[in-house]
Amino acid sequence: MNLYKYVSNAINEKLGTKVNLEVPRNREFGDFSTNAAMVMAKSAGKNPRELAGEILPKLAELDFVADATIAGPGFINIKLRDDFIWNAATQPQIPKSDAPMTIDLDYGAYNVAKNLHIGHLRTSIVGDTFNRIAKLLGHKTYSWNHIGDWGKPMALIIAWIERLHPELPYFSDNFDPNTPVDFEIDPTELNTYYPAASAFAKENADFQSHAQEIKARFQDGHMGYFALYEKFLKISLEMMNETVKRLNILPFDYDLGERNAAKYLPAVEKILRSQNLITESDGAQVIVVKRDDDNKPMPPYMWTDSRGADTYDSTDLAAVYCRKNVDNPDKIIYFTDLRQGLHFEQLFRAADMSGIFKYENFEHIGYGTINGRDGKPFKTRDGNAAGLDDIIDAVNDAVNQRVIESGKNLDSDTINAIALAAVKFNDLLHDVRSDYIFDPSAVTSFEGRTGPYILYTAVRLNSVLKRAGDVPNASRIPLSTDERNLLIGVLDFERIVHSAFENRATDLIANYAYDLCQLTNTFYHNCPILRDDVPSDIRAGRLHIAKIARDTLAQTIDLMGLKIPSEM
């Protein structure tokens, strides 16, 4: 049950007006509080405390109210009945949206033959958790891994391989695709080609212009280039799959990116031309997306570059057209670095102007930067820009270190699960849009707002429940403070899931997990369960509470894509 909504609706109905209901930090005086009397006093021309006194008896009539009291200048505190809490908490928590939508989610979006950078961590983790939240609420989602597999990097890699192996037949204009070629790319070397080629191109104008030529011919269907491309594409896709597994994110519904989108370019171009939306600018074909009321620079959207080649812009618009035709979504949401904000603003305008997809049904969730302790983008120990694997490796080392120090003996699967939880939880904990500081040692602490703490709490609950064996239904009334606080915490799950979805705020889930763990550990500490001196009815009730807490915590952990180890 969505406890907050239930209580709030019932109070609104009783008082005949919409009141503001809050969950106070300090639960001592009430489970909920409202400033309704203070708000209503103005129009009623009454003193707020006096009005509150008139409201109390009405609230007392509600079936879930144990006690309602006045505090301060006219706040009303409401305490819930224990039996009401018990009955609500023993029902399954199933948040469901009243208005299910079809949503295309664009995240991950890895690049062929390029190491994943640190930003790919955030798009993957936040996008995946958002996807899980939406699914839980009953929305139909399609996740698109919009792979960078069509642009200039492809050409640079082809040009680089040509430099290394000029004797290969791929570079000839009349390459026959049936020719058997005895050439294999070394997967460990592949991701070094692009950085090498791009550095070389900066120094060497001929190479640069050759690569540009390759790009145009490759996109025009040059057989040899294409055959070579398919070779490294295959290796790259396998590496991406490994990443998806390593991050424990859901498999993408579509691993289709720029190249797939390029198929739709002619259809989109037809639409654009029929509305005269394509104009020429400095030899390039562009769509002017600027509006009169713009107060910031709004450059034109690039349809083709000056060599007539497809662009990141054009394939992104074509991808929208494709998705509209394939999934017909109500919304398309992109998760990328904040710095792509302008690109998406242009894309949304271009799509809207051409009638392909409405501006208001797009969203761009731009995330901030992951910084090191010095406040600058996180670097590896040798001072290079860190990749996604560097982050996970650093955290794995930190977990290993802690485990050795604590004298525990944990297998490598457990260590990996803890390290992954440390990385993902820390990422989810922060407001997506803000930068955060990444400190491998802090995120692996077993205490505080960390992934290991969350897992540790779940492992603890699992172990109590395992030792207890079967947990039959029991009832436990009256509830002690720690018991009721934990159950009310459980009953906040649905509100949080709805709110995380509506506000596109995955951090609410991580913070909720932490709050639930705090409540759990306080309960665990103050309410012995399996100790010999605990009477059997109390034990049965507490076990039931532990089970309810575990189920909700496990569901929350699942939304974050973390795995609970069997021991810690």
Name the residues that contact ligand ARG, by CB under 6 A: 106, 109, 111, 146, 148, 316, 319, 334, 336
Compare residues 317 and 429 and give the one whose CB is closer to ligand ARG: 317
Choice between 316 and 507, CB closer to ligand ARG: 316
C-alpha dihedral, 548 to 554 to 556 to 561, nearest 10°: -170
Give the list of residues 6+ apart from residue 8 with CB closer than 8 angstroms, or none. 19, 21
Q: Nearest approach, Cβ of 337 to ligand ARG (angstroms)?
A: 7
Distance CA 20, CA 39 (A): 9
Least distance between ligand ARG and beta carbon 107 (Å): 8
Would you say 305 or 316 has its CB closer to ligand ARG?
316
* Least distance in angstroms from the C-beta of 314 to ligand ARG: 11
Q: For residue 127, count CB atoms less than 10 angstroms from its CB and return exposed for 0-12, middle for 13-18, buried for 19 or more.
A: buried
Residue nearest to ligand ARG (CB): 109
Shortest CB 114 distance to ligand ARG, Å: 8
> Nearest approach, Cβ of 185 to ligand ARG (angstroms)?
21
Which region holds residue 408: left if phi is over 0, alpha if psi is between -120 and 50, else beta? beta
Alpha carbons 505 and 126: distance in angstroms, whole number: 9
Burial 289-320 (b: 16+ CB within 10 A, else e): beeeeeeeeeebbbbbbeeebbbebbbbbbbb
- Residue whose C-alpha is closest to residue 225's, from 165, 178, 177: 177
Among residues 262 and 465, whose Cβ is nearest to ligand ARG?
A: 262
Give the shortest CB-407-to-ligand ARG separation in angstroms.
42
Q: State the chain's maximal CA–CA distance in angstroms.
A: 93
Shortest approach of ligand ARG to residue 316 CB, angstroms?
5
When the beta carbons of 319 and 488 are compared against ligand ARG, the nearer one is 319
Toward ligand ARG, which CB reaches closer, 80 or 109? Answer: 109
Cβ proximity to ligand ARG: between 116 and 488 the closer is 116
Structure-derived torsion over alpha carbons of residues 547, 549, 552, 553, reported in degrees to the nearest 10: -110
Nearest distance from residue 257's CB to ligand ARG, in Å? Answer: 7
User: In terms of DSSP H, where are the helices of 354-450?
Assistant: 388-406, 412-429, 440-443
What CA–CA distance (Å, rounded) separates 412 from 220? Answer: 48
Residue number with CB closer to ligand ARG (319 or 461) = 319
SS3 316: helix
- Cα 538 to Cα 529: distance, rounded to the nearest angstrom: 8
